[in-house]
Every structure is written in C-alpha cells, then in structure tokens.
Amino acid sequence: MTRNQMAEIIDHTLLKATASERDILLLCEEARLYGFGYVCVNPCWVKKASAELSGTKTRICTVIGFPLGATTTPVKLSEAVEAVQNGCSGVDLVINLGALKSGSYRQAEGEIKAVADAVSACRKDAHVKVIIETCYLSSQEKKTACLIARDAGARFVKTSTGFGSAGATVEDVALMKSVIGQEMGIKAAGGIKTLAQAIALVEAGATRLGTSSGIAIIKEMDAAQ
C-alpha cells in the first residue's frame, strides 16, 4: 500500500466533546495537507468542516446516535438528515445495542433502514456505516449485527465508537469480513495508533480506518520508505 492509498482510507477523526472551532479548523488543514479521505467530526461541526474543505478531495463524516446508540429512531433520523444537508456524505450510525441484546432484530434493522433510506434520499453519494461496538458483543452477536446492517442497506459496518471499553481488533475485523465478504466495507476504529496496527487491520479486511493518529501513521510510512 502506498502513502497516498493509506491516506485515502483514513478518516481523520476528532470527536472529543471539548473540540473547539480552532481544533476543527486545524483538523481540516491537516486533512488537506496529508490527503486524508475524510474528516470525522461531531454533527455540530459538519457545516464548518464542509465549508473549510469545499473544493478539496476530503469529504465529511459524522456520527449519529453517538456514542450509545440509545436515542430514538426519529432523533437519529433528524440528526442524519441535518448532517447530510450540512455537507456530510458519511454517516456513522450507532446500532441500537439494547434492541440487539434483546433479540429485537427487526427493530434494529428497521431503524438502520430508515436512516439509510433518508440519507440516500437527501444525497445520492451519502452512505451509512453501522457502528456495532464490538467490545460489548459476543461473537454471535457480532455476526448478527453485521447481517442486520447488510440487510438494512448500510454500506459499511464499523467496529467501535472509540468511547467503549475497547476498540478495533484484527480478530473482530476478520470475523466481520467472514460474514459480509465483499458485500460491504468495514471501518476499523478505536485505538489505532501505529502503522503496524493499520496494516494488520487492512490485511484482516478493513477498508477504512477511523483514527486520530493518521498523521503519525503517515509519518511512520514516510520514515520507512
């Protein structure tokens, strides 16, 4: 994988509650400089990031129902539609973990489908990634969550919020890949700090990487070349 290919699959991420406007502007400048495929910001910063990155190749991603997935479907729908209208093309939606744990699979799938349909109706190139928060799930629940996301029309499954008890692992990405194959993308996120981690996750099946350490990863690549 080349430096540019690695940069393109990175979602340069800043989801801290304390992120200031200055922090967001710096994030966008870094994305321009390093050629990251996306910046991932909280919904309140989507419009600002979209304006800053207008005319560049870097796109905007945000998080919905974050980080617990416990808001109601109408709230998630409202968040997602507003984000897309404000310039976002990537919507990372936290699955309703309570519904999943309760065996209410139709409820979980229906919510994802509603958001996916609303997002694509607003913007043809917009898509949904479903965050399944692997650290809280059994192996079977991880498989079920992937199938629910696929059947609901999501384009990606994502390992983690980065706010749970653990982040992305090679084992979880490989398991997710074994379930969805080539039908969906996989976004690994949470605790990705080194080039070795990034490469291992990609080799396991990840097609996007959500990380706040993208610059360090690219600098590692530069130093190794």
SS (HEC) of the chain: CCHHHHHHHEEEEECCCCCCHHHHHHHHHHHHHHCCCEEEECHHHHHHHHHHCCCCCCEEEEEECCCCCCCCHHHHHHHHHHHHHCCCCEEEEECCHHHHHHCCHHHHHHHHHHHHHHHHHHCCCCEEEEECCHHHCCHHHHHHHHHHHHHCCCCEEECCCCCCCCCCCHHHHHHHHHHHCCCCEEEEECCCCCHHHHHHHHHHCCCEEEECCHHHHHHHHHHHC
Task: Determine the average pLDDT of the residues in 128-132.
Answer: 99
187 is a catalytic site residue: yes
The pLDDT value given to residue 225: 80
Among 11, 76, 92, 142, the one annotated catalytic = 92
125 is a catalytic site residue: no
CATH top-level class for 3-224? alpha beta
Rounded to the nearest integer, the mean pLDDT of the chain is: 98
Omega into 67 within 30° of 0, i.e. cis? Answer: yes
Domain ranges of the chain: 3-224
- 177/157 Cα distance (integer angstroms): 10
The pLDDT value given to residue 34: 98
Q: Are 191 and 221 in contact (CB under 8 A)?
A: no
Residue for token digits 């801290």? 16
Among 76, 142, 158, 177, the one annotated catalytic = 158
pLDDT digits (tens, 9 = 90+) for 157-202: 999 999 999 999 999 999 999 999 999 999 999 999 999 999 999 9
User: What is the CA 165 to chain-centroid distance, rounded?
Assistant: 17
23 is a catalytic site residue: no
Q: What angle do CA 109, 113, 116 make, to 5 degrees?
A: 140
